[in-house]
Amino acid sequence: MKKIWIATSNAHKVEEFQKMLGEDVQVCCLKDLDQEVEIVENGKTFEENALIKARSLYDVLHQPVISDDSGLEVDAMDKAPGVYSARWMGEDTSYDVKNAQIIKNVEGKTRTARFVCVIAYIDENGKGHTYRGEVEGQINDKILGSNGFGYDPIFYYPEYGTTLANVSSEMKNKVSHRSRALEKFLKDWRNK
């Protein structure tokens, strides 16, 4: 069984990665370590932040590591919250509040938006690689759906005719920004 470390403590991300990587891959995360790993996300791009996270864990383990940095870019908000998606309006602010604010911010404006995910991979030799995935959509006019997490309840995906929080995790994972980045990563990883 292949093993991969992911530089995250986010249980939702770990679960998504495990589903997408399959049962023949053991996914380990920061919670599986017996020590703290300090990660300072001070990059200006998704690529920079993903590499910072992966490098921080690689420097502790000296084993192959992946991480991702992802977020929502809303065109009417100059691509905010972007790399600050998790910290926008404060890390302790609920996504219900954040989602309601974004809906308010786009009233009467263009609703186009995209989810972006960059997966960084530090290989066994310490070399960094990045893989970018995006999914285009719109900001819905109301919070809709109870699946998914974060901004999924306001991200309307036209091909499904609803938000990503209003479809099954299997349907979401077929088109998500994370699955698109992961697909690119897996082509490289499985060929090694």
Report how far residue 61's alpha carbon sits from residue 186's, in angstroms, rounded to the nearest whole number: 21
Q: Is 148 annotated as a binding residue?
A: no
Binding site annotation covers 166?
A: no
On whether 146 is known to bind a ligand per the annotation, the reply is no
Given a contact cutoff of 8 angstroms between Cβ atoms, the answer to whether 18 and 78 are in contact is: no
* C-alpha–C-alpha distance, residues 22 and 86, integer Å: 26
**Is 177 annotated in some ligand binding site?**
yes
Structure tokens at 64: 């192959």
CA distance 132 to 91: 24
- Confirm or deny that 149 is annotated as ligand binding: yes
* 149: alpha, beta or left? (left if phi > 0; alpha if psi -120 to 50): beta
Rounded CA-CA distance 52/143 in Å is 32
169 is known to lie in a ligand binding site: no
Distance between CA atoms of 96 and 173, rounded to whole angstroms?
22
Burial of 130 (0-12, 13-18, 19+ CB in 10 A): buried
Which residues are annotated as catalytic? 69
The answer to the question of whether 11 is labelled as a binding residue is yes
To the question of whether residue 150 is assigned a binding role by annotation, the answer is yes
Annotated ligand binding at 108? The verdict is no
CA distance 189 to 192: 6
8 annotated as belonging to a binding site for a ligand: yes
178 known member of a binding site? yes
Binding site listing for substrate: 8-13, 70, 149-152, 172, 177-178
Binding site listing for Mg(2+): 69
